[in-house]
């Protein structure tokens, strides 16, 4: 009976604390809902990855409710016991962190990428020697579709920790066409006609001029590069701009007798220095007709 009386006395003594603890939990619960609602609206305006948004909202709600539980337990004078339990959980968490550090790195990189938004679904990127269109951005990996149609799954940490090229963000891209013409052609004429041929492409960037530069004396040609800019949103548009440039140049050269020479090769018949082919053939009793 004494034990029962002690329990009842303790319960009556702690009843106000229980009521306060329950009120604390209710306050933190509604506070969690309110903060998650406001934060959700803000995040939906700043990022498009729903998975990351849900994760951030869940972690925010968990952190708020955990704080409420700790306050409630403190009211019930159980905070020291909880502190000991949390210390043990921290040790276990540290061990798991070492065991799954690659997975954790991918996860953290995915969250960081979602917050910073360096790439988005539909962007054309090149990273870690892979090129393609971003198809999916997850918490642990990003899927890129190559021009050949294959899906390439890249761990997020590789994208986050290594350089990448973003082709979509600027909305434009430069094309460099390298060509060679014969040594007998008029260089001024070639430059003028080549520039006009590229300018005839209807969808060039109007604020960027076509550039023409001779670059080198080749083995069988004088080499040059033509540079021009196009609006860039899809990879097929880029290939079409290259194709149209090549067709325009070839048509112009055909109409104006400008030659794109074949490679010239020198054949060594064992002729000694200064000796002509005729004399070499005669000395070996070889006829030209043979």
**Digit-coded pLDDT (tens) for 277-287:** 566 666 666 55
Has residue 261 got a pLDDT over 90? Answer: no
CA distance 57 to 208: 46
180 and 135 in a common domain:
no
Has residue 47 got a pLDDT over 90? Answer: no
266 and 250 in a common domain:
yes
178 and 153 in a common domain:
no
152 and 174 in a common domain:
no
The predicted-structure confidence for 263-272, as pLDDT tens digits, reads as follows 766 666 565 5
286 and 228 in a common domain:
yes
Does residue 107 lie within any of the structural domains? Answer: no
The predicted-structure confidence for 101-130, as pLDDT tens digits, reads as follows 566 666 666 666 666 667 788 888 888 888
Q: Which domain holds residue 8?
A: 2-99
CATH label of the domain that carries residue 10: 1.10.287
176 and 289 in a common domain:
yes
The pTM assigned to this predicted structure is: 0.55
Does residue 145 lie within any of the structural domains? Answer: yes
CATH label of the domain that carries residue 139: 2.30.30.60
273: region left, alpha or beta (phi > 0 left; psi from -120 to 50 alpha):
beta
264 and 175 in a common domain:
yes
The predicted-structure confidence for 136-152, as pLDDT tens digits, reads as follows 887 778 899 988 889 99
216: enclosing H helix or E strand: strand 211-217
Mean pLDDT, rounded, for 210-233 = 91
93 and 123 in a common domain:
no
Q: Into how many domains does the chain fold?
A: 3
Closest Cα to residue 18, out of 77, 95, 103? 77
CATH label of the domain that carries residue 247: 3.30.70.100
Has residue 229 got a pLDDT over 70? Answer: yes
Does residue 105 lie within any of the structural domains? Answer: no
237 and 200 in a common domain:
yes
Does residue 49 lie within any of the structural domains? Answer: yes
201 and 181 in a common domain:
yes
215 and 260 in a common domain:
yes
Task: Write down the H helix ranges in the chain.
Answer: 2-46, 50-75, 79-99, 101-116, 156-161, 187-199, 235-255, 277-283
Strand partners, 179: 224
284 and 178 in a common domain:
yes
């Amino acid at each position: 009976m004494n034990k029962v009386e002690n329990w009842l006395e303790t319960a009556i003594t702690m009843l106000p604390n229980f009521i306060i603890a329950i009120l604390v939990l209710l306050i933190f619960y509604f506070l969690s809902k309110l903060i998650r609602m406001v934060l959700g609206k803000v995040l939906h305006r700043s990022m498009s990855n729903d998975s990351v948004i849900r994760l951030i909202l869940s972690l925010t709600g968990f952190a708020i409710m955990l704080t409420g539980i700790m306050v409630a337990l403190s009211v019930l004078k159980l905070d020291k016991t909880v502190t000991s339990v949390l210390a043990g959980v921290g040790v276990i968490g540290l061990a798991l962190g070492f065991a799954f550090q690659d997975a954790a790195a991918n996860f953290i990189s995915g969250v960081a990428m979602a917050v910073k938004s360096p790439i988005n679904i539909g962007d054309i990127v090149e990273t870690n020697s892979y090129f393609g269109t971003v198809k999916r951005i997850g918490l642990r990996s990003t899927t890129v579709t190559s021009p050949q149609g294959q899906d390439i799954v890249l761990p997020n940490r590789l994208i986050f920790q290594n350089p990448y090229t973003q082709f979509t963000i600027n909305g434009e891209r430069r094309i460099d066409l390298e060509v060679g013409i014969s040594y007998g052609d008029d260089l001024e004429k070639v430059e003028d006609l080549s520039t006009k041929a590229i300018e005839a492409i209807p969808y060039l960037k109007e604020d960027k001029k076509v550039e023409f530069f001779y670059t080198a004396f080749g083995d069988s040609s004088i080499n040059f590069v033509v540079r021009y800019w196009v609006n860039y949103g899809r990879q097929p548009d880029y290939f079409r701009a290259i194709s149209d440039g090549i067709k325009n140049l070839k048509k112009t050269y055909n109409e104006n007798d400008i030659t794109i020479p074949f490679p010239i090769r020198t054949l060594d018949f064992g002729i000694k220095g200064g000796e002509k082919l005729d004399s070499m053939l005669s000395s070996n009793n070889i006829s030209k007709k043979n």
